Amino acid sequence: MNLFATVLTYPAPSANYRGESELNRTVIQKVTDGKFDYPIFSPESMRNALREILRKYGLPSNRTRLNDEDQLAVKFEDYPHPEKYVDDYFFGYLVAAGRTERADIKKILGEKRTKAAAEAFTFKRDSVLRMNLAKALDPYRHNAIFTQSPLAVEGSAYQNATTSALLHRETVVSGFQYPFALNLDDCKPKPDWTKKLLQAIGELNGVAGNHARSYFEMAPASIVVRLTKQLVAGYQTYGFRTVKKPDGEEYHLFPEVINGIQHEPTPDYPGSEFFIGGKIVKDMADDQVKKLTTLGVTLDRDPRRLLVSVADKFLGGK
Protein backbone atom coordinates (compact mmCIF):
# COMPACT_ATOMS: atom_id res chain seq x y z
CA MET A 1 0.00 0.00 0.00
CA ASN A 2 1.27 3.47 -0.93
CA LEU A 3 0.08 6.88 0.20
CA PHE A 4 0.28 9.79 -2.26
CA ALA A 5 -0.87 13.26 -1.25
CA THR A 6 -0.83 16.85 -2.44
CA VAL A 7 -1.18 19.73 0.02
CA LEU A 8 -2.35 23.23 -0.89
CA THR A 9 -1.71 26.03 1.61
CA TYR A 10 -3.79 29.13 2.15
CA PRO A 11 -2.55 32.16 0.20
CA ALA A 12 -0.76 34.84 2.19
CA PRO A 13 2.07 37.35 1.71
CA SER A 14 5.38 35.51 1.88
CA ALA A 15 8.89 36.90 2.10
CA ASN A 16 10.43 34.37 4.40
CA TYR A 17 12.36 32.01 2.16
CA ARG A 18 15.74 33.64 1.65
CA GLY A 19 17.80 31.24 -0.38
CA GLU A 20 20.29 33.90 -1.46
CA SER A 21 20.93 37.63 -1.20
CA GLU A 22 22.08 40.42 -3.48
CA LEU A 23 23.67 43.15 -1.35
CA ASN A 24 20.83 44.14 1.02
CA ARG A 25 18.13 42.53 -1.16
CA THR A 26 16.78 39.20 0.11
CA VAL A 27 15.79 37.01 -2.82
CA ILE A 28 13.02 34.41 -2.85
CA GLN A 29 14.13 31.20 -4.54
CA LYS A 30 12.23 30.41 -7.72
CA VAL A 31 11.83 27.78 -10.42
CA THR A 32 10.90 28.46 -14.05
CA ASP A 33 7.77 26.75 -15.34
CA GLY A 34 6.93 27.67 -18.92
CA LYS A 35 7.28 31.44 -19.32
CA PHE A 36 7.14 32.39 -15.64
CA ASP A 37 9.20 32.10 -12.46
CA TYR A 38 7.38 30.60 -9.49
CA PRO A 39 8.49 30.99 -5.85
CA ILE A 40 9.39 27.73 -4.10
CA PHE A 41 10.05 26.27 -0.66
CA SER A 42 12.57 23.42 -0.62
CA PRO A 43 11.64 19.98 0.74
CA GLU A 44 14.68 20.30 3.03
CA SER A 45 13.12 23.33 4.74
CA MET A 46 9.84 21.45 5.26
CA ARG A 47 11.65 18.36 6.54
CA ASN A 48 13.56 20.51 9.03
CA ALA A 49 10.29 22.01 10.32
CA LEU A 50 8.77 18.52 10.62
CA ARG A 51 11.76 17.42 12.70
CA GLU A 52 11.15 20.31 15.09
CA ILE A 53 7.41 19.62 15.30
CA LEU A 54 7.97 15.93 16.05
CA ARG A 55 10.42 16.96 18.76
CA LYS A 56 7.76 19.29 20.23
CA TYR A 57 5.35 16.35 20.28
CA GLY A 58 7.80 14.70 22.66
CA LEU A 59 9.14 12.07 20.25
CA PRO A 60 12.83 11.14 20.58
CA SER A 61 14.98 13.01 18.04
CA ASN A 62 18.66 12.62 17.28
CA ARG A 63 19.31 15.97 15.60
CA THR A 64 18.98 19.35 17.28
CA ARG A 65 19.15 22.65 15.40
CA LEU A 66 21.58 25.15 17.00
CA ASN A 67 20.28 28.64 16.37
CA ASP A 68 23.04 30.78 17.92
CA GLU A 69 25.99 29.71 15.76
CA ASP A 70 27.70 31.81 13.07
CA GLN A 71 26.43 29.41 10.38
CA LEU A 72 23.77 26.72 9.96
CA ALA A 73 24.59 24.12 12.60
CA VAL A 74 23.14 20.99 14.17
CA LYS A 75 24.10 18.63 16.98
CA PHE A 76 23.66 14.84 16.87
CA GLU A 77 23.03 13.05 20.16
CA ASP A 78 24.23 9.68 18.85
CA TYR A 79 25.13 7.76 15.73
CA PRO A 80 21.98 7.19 13.66
CA HIS A 81 19.52 4.82 15.28
CA PRO A 82 16.22 4.54 13.36
CA GLU A 83 14.65 2.26 15.95
CA LYS A 84 15.30 4.85 18.66
CA TYR A 85 14.99 8.26 16.96
CA VAL A 86 11.98 9.38 14.92
CA ASP A 87 14.00 11.73 12.69
CA ASP A 88 16.53 9.02 11.75
CA TYR A 89 13.60 6.72 10.96
CA PHE A 90 11.58 8.99 8.68
CA PHE A 91 14.13 11.37 7.16
CA GLY A 92 17.13 9.15 6.56
CA TYR A 93 20.79 10.01 7.08
CA LEU A 94 24.33 9.67 5.78
CA VAL A 95 27.43 9.08 7.90
CA ALA A 96 30.38 10.06 5.68
CA ALA A 97 33.06 7.64 6.90
CA GLY A 98 35.99 5.91 5.22
CA ARG A 99 36.96 2.26 5.69
CA THR A 100 39.06 2.86 8.82
CA GLU A 101 36.45 5.18 10.35
CA ARG A 102 33.72 2.64 9.64
CA ALA A 103 35.62 -0.03 11.55
CA ASP A 104 36.08 2.34 14.52
CA ILE A 105 32.39 3.28 14.52
CA LYS A 106 31.32 -0.37 14.40
CA LYS A 107 33.58 -1.04 17.39
CA ILE A 108 32.04 1.86 19.34
CA LEU A 109 28.52 0.65 18.53
CA GLY A 110 29.42 -2.87 19.58
CA GLU A 111 30.22 -1.51 23.04
CA LYS A 112 27.21 0.83 23.31
CA ARG A 113 24.38 -1.20 21.76
CA THR A 114 23.07 -4.71 21.78
CA LYS A 115 24.73 -7.13 19.39
CA ALA A 116 21.66 -7.17 17.12
CA ALA A 117 21.42 -3.35 17.04
CA ALA A 118 25.14 -2.99 16.26
CA GLU A 119 24.94 -5.53 13.43
CA ALA A 120 21.83 -3.84 11.99
CA PHE A 121 23.53 -0.42 11.82
CA THR A 122 23.95 1.07 8.33
CA PHE A 123 25.96 4.14 7.36
CA LYS A 124 23.21 5.52 5.13
CA ARG A 125 19.45 5.23 4.96
CA ASP A 126 16.96 6.62 2.44
CA SER A 127 14.16 8.87 3.59
CA VAL A 128 10.88 7.10 4.31
CA LEU A 129 9.02 10.39 3.74
CA ARG A 130 9.28 11.45 0.10
CA MET A 131 8.65 15.11 -0.65
CA ASN A 132 9.10 17.54 -3.51
CA LEU A 133 9.33 21.33 -3.82
CA ALA A 134 6.46 23.48 -2.62
CA LYS A 135 5.60 25.59 -5.67
CA ALA A 136 3.51 28.76 -5.67
CA LEU A 137 0.24 28.73 -7.56
CA ASP A 138 0.98 32.21 -8.87
CA PRO A 139 4.17 33.44 -10.58
CA TYR A 140 6.48 36.00 -9.06
CA ARG A 141 5.44 39.50 -10.16
CA HIS A 142 8.58 41.42 -9.11
CA ASN A 143 6.93 42.76 -5.95
CA ALA A 144 9.22 44.03 -3.22
CA ILE A 145 8.99 45.59 0.22
CA PHE A 146 11.41 48.13 1.68
CA THR A 147 11.97 48.41 5.42
CA GLN A 148 14.38 50.58 7.39
CA SER A 149 16.96 49.18 9.79
CA PRO A 150 17.70 51.96 12.31
CA LEU A 151 21.13 53.17 13.34
CA ALA A 152 22.27 52.06 16.80
CA VAL A 153 23.89 55.23 18.13
CA GLU A 154 27.16 55.45 20.03
CA GLY A 155 26.64 54.61 23.65
CA SER A 156 24.42 51.62 22.83
CA ALA A 157 25.36 48.34 24.47
CA TYR A 158 26.20 47.00 21.00
CA GLN A 159 26.19 48.08 17.37
CA ASN A 160 25.58 45.75 14.42
CA ALA A 161 26.35 48.46 11.86
CA THR A 162 27.71 51.98 11.74
CA THR A 163 24.90 53.31 9.53
CA SER A 164 21.20 52.81 8.98
CA ALA A 165 20.24 50.43 6.15
CA LEU A 166 17.35 50.11 3.72
CA LEU A 167 16.28 46.45 3.51
CA HIS A 168 14.83 45.20 0.22
CA ARG A 169 12.70 42.03 0.34
CA GLU A 170 11.13 40.21 -2.60
CA THR A 171 7.51 39.30 -1.78
CA VAL A 172 4.75 37.15 -3.25
CA VAL A 173 1.09 36.60 -2.35
CA SER A 174 0.17 33.01 -3.23
CA GLY A 175 -0.75 29.61 -1.94
CA PHE A 176 1.84 26.84 -2.36
CA GLN A 177 1.27 23.20 -3.26
CA TYR A 178 3.57 20.26 -2.57
CA PRO A 179 3.32 16.47 -2.84
CA PHE A 180 4.51 13.82 -0.41
CA ALA A 181 4.44 10.02 -0.38
CA LEU A 182 4.80 7.12 2.08
CA ASN A 183 5.00 3.34 1.71
CA LEU A 184 3.13 1.12 4.17
CA ASP A 185 5.94 -1.44 4.51
CA ASP A 186 8.28 1.36 5.58
CA CYS A 187 5.81 2.84 8.08
CA LYS A 188 4.10 -0.20 9.60
CA PRO A 189 6.91 -0.99 12.11
CA LYS A 190 6.25 2.44 13.71
CA PRO A 191 2.48 3.09 13.49
CA ASP A 192 2.36 5.61 16.34
CA TRP A 193 5.25 7.59 14.84
CA THR A 194 3.54 7.51 11.43
CA LYS A 195 0.34 8.95 12.91
CA LYS A 196 2.36 11.73 14.51
CA LEU A 197 4.13 12.43 11.22
CA LEU A 198 0.81 12.87 9.42
CA GLN A 199 -0.40 15.05 12.29
CA ALA A 200 2.75 17.17 11.92
CA ILE A 201 2.08 17.63 8.18
CA GLY A 202 -1.43 18.74 9.09
CA GLU A 203 0.08 21.35 11.43
CA LEU A 204 3.18 22.25 9.39
CA ASN A 205 4.54 25.68 10.27
CA GLY A 206 7.85 27.46 10.84
CA VAL A 207 9.20 26.18 7.54
CA ALA A 208 11.83 28.63 6.44
CA GLY A 209 13.67 31.58 7.90
CA ASN A 210 12.96 35.24 8.56
CA HIS A 211 10.34 34.38 11.17
CA ALA A 212 10.94 37.69 12.91
CA ARG A 213 9.28 39.40 9.94
CA SER A 214 7.20 36.77 8.11
CA TYR A 215 4.55 34.28 9.21
CA PHE A 216 3.46 31.78 6.58
CA GLU A 217 1.69 28.50 7.37
CA MET A 218 2.50 25.42 5.29
CA ALA A 219 -0.37 23.42 6.82
CA PRO A 220 -3.03 22.24 4.36
CA ALA A 221 -5.92 24.48 3.44
CA SER A 222 -6.88 21.62 1.08
CA ILE A 223 -5.48 18.14 0.62
CA VAL A 224 -5.97 15.27 -1.83
CA VAL A 225 -4.78 11.80 -0.74
CA ARG A 226 -4.73 8.50 -2.60
CA LEU A 227 -4.16 5.10 -0.97
CA THR A 228 -3.28 2.58 -3.66
CA LYS A 229 -1.24 -0.54 -4.37
CA GLN A 230 0.19 1.25 -7.41
CA LEU A 231 3.78 2.47 -7.20
CA VAL A 232 2.81 5.86 -8.69
CA ALA A 233 0.06 8.35 -7.94
CA GLY A 234 -1.21 8.13 -11.53
CA TYR A 235 -2.04 11.83 -11.90
CA GLN A 236 -0.31 15.22 -11.89
CA THR A 237 0.70 15.63 -8.27
CA TYR A 238 0.87 19.42 -8.68
CA GLY A 239 -2.78 19.31 -9.70
CA PHE A 240 -4.46 22.17 -7.82
CA ARG A 241 -5.81 24.84 -10.18
CA THR A 242 -7.25 28.30 -9.50
CA VAL A 243 -10.82 28.86 -10.72
CA LYS A 244 -12.68 32.16 -10.76
CA LYS A 245 -16.41 32.53 -10.19
CA PRO A 246 -18.34 35.07 -12.29
CA ASP A 247 -18.20 37.50 -9.36
CA GLY A 248 -14.38 37.28 -9.36
CA GLU A 249 -14.06 35.16 -6.22
CA GLU A 250 -11.29 32.54 -6.46
CA TYR A 251 -11.35 28.93 -5.31
CA HIS A 252 -9.20 25.89 -6.04
CA LEU A 253 -9.97 22.53 -7.60
CA PHE A 254 -8.04 19.36 -8.41
CA PRO A 255 -9.78 18.77 -11.76
CA GLU A 256 -7.85 15.74 -13.05
CA VAL A 257 -8.78 13.68 -10.00
CA ILE A 258 -12.25 15.11 -9.32
CA ASN A 259 -13.35 14.78 -12.95
CA GLY A 260 -11.60 11.43 -13.35
CA ILE A 261 -13.46 9.86 -10.43
CA GLN A 262 -16.76 11.02 -11.95
CA HIS A 263 -15.92 10.04 -15.54
CA GLU A 264 -18.60 7.97 -17.25
CA PRO A 265 -19.14 5.26 -18.20
CA THR A 266 -15.82 4.09 -16.70
CA PRO A 267 -14.13 6.17 -13.96
CA ASP A 268 -10.44 6.97 -14.44
CA TYR A 269 -9.83 6.39 -10.71
CA PRO A 270 -11.61 4.30 -8.06
CA GLY A 271 -13.27 6.74 -5.68
CA SER A 272 -12.71 4.46 -2.69
CA GLU A 273 -8.94 5.15 -2.88
CA PHE A 274 -9.32 8.91 -2.41
CA PHE A 275 -9.55 11.13 0.65
CA ILE A 276 -10.22 14.83 0.01
CA GLY A 277 -10.36 17.47 2.71
CA GLY A 278 -10.32 21.14 3.60
CA LYS A 279 -11.45 24.17 1.66
CA ILE A 280 -11.77 22.21 -1.59
CA VAL A 281 -14.67 20.35 0.08
CA LYS A 282 -16.15 23.53 1.56
CA ASP A 283 -16.28 25.05 -1.94
CA MET A 284 -17.98 22.04 -3.54
CA ALA A 285 -21.64 22.16 -4.51
CA ASP A 286 -23.90 19.88 -2.46
CA ASP A 287 -24.73 17.68 -5.46
CA GLN A 288 -21.01 17.10 -6.18
CA VAL A 289 -20.35 16.20 -2.54
CA LYS A 290 -23.20 13.71 -2.70
CA LYS A 291 -21.97 12.18 -5.98
CA LEU A 292 -18.36 11.81 -4.82
CA THR A 293 -19.51 10.28 -1.55
CA THR A 294 -21.68 7.81 -3.49
CA LEU A 295 -18.60 6.89 -5.56
CA GLY A 296 -16.71 6.00 -2.37
CA VAL A 297 -14.62 9.14 -1.84
CA THR A 298 -13.99 10.13 1.79
CA LEU A 299 -14.66 13.88 2.18
CA ASP A 300 -13.99 16.04 5.22
CA ARG A 301 -14.17 19.80 5.64
CA ASP A 302 -11.28 19.62 8.16
CA PRO A 303 -7.94 18.53 6.58
CA ARG A 304 -6.43 17.60 9.96
CA ARG A 305 -9.38 15.38 10.82
CA LEU A 306 -9.11 13.83 7.36
CA LEU A 307 -5.45 12.95 7.97
CA VAL A 308 -6.50 11.03 11.09
CA SER A 309 -8.88 8.97 8.91
CA VAL A 310 -6.11 8.49 6.32
CA ALA A 311 -3.68 7.28 9.01
CA ASP A 312 -6.17 4.74 10.35
CA LYS A 313 -6.97 3.39 6.87
CA PHE A 314 -3.32 3.41 5.74
CA LEU A 315 -1.93 1.61 8.77
CA GLY A 316 -4.75 -0.92 8.71
CA GLY A 317 -4.20 -1.61 5.01
CA LYS A 318 -2.45 -4.49 3.31
Q: DSSP string covering 114-139, please?
A: -HHHHHH--SEE--SSEE--EEESS-
Helices 255-262 and 286-294: crossing angle, nearest 10°?
60
Residue 268's pLDDT is: 95
Mean pLDDT, to the nearest integer, of 74-79?
A: 92
Integer angstrom CA distances of residue 288 from 255, 258, 284, 301: 13, 10, 6, 14
Query: Is residue 247 over pLDDT 80?
Result: no
Residue 272's pLDDT is: 96
Q: What is the pLDDT of residues 200-238, one digit of tens each?
A: 999 999 886 666 667 889 999 999 999 999 999 999 999
**Of 214 and 50, which is predicted with more confidence?**
50
Q: Which residues contact 84 (CB under 8 A, 6 or more apart)?
A: 60, 62, 78
Query: Is residue 279 over pLDDT 60?
Result: yes
**Of 258 and 145, which is predicted with more confidence?**
258
Query: Is residue 179 over pLDDT 70?
Result: yes
Q: What is the pLDDT of residues 4-24, one digit of tens each?
A: 999 999 998 887 655 556 666
Q: What is the pLDDT of residues 93-109, one digit of tens each?
A: 999 988 889 999 999 99
Q: How confident is the model at residue 259 (pLDDT cuts 50, 70, 90)?
A: very high
| pTM reported for the whole predicted model | 0.91
Query: Is residue 157 over pLDDT 70?
Result: yes
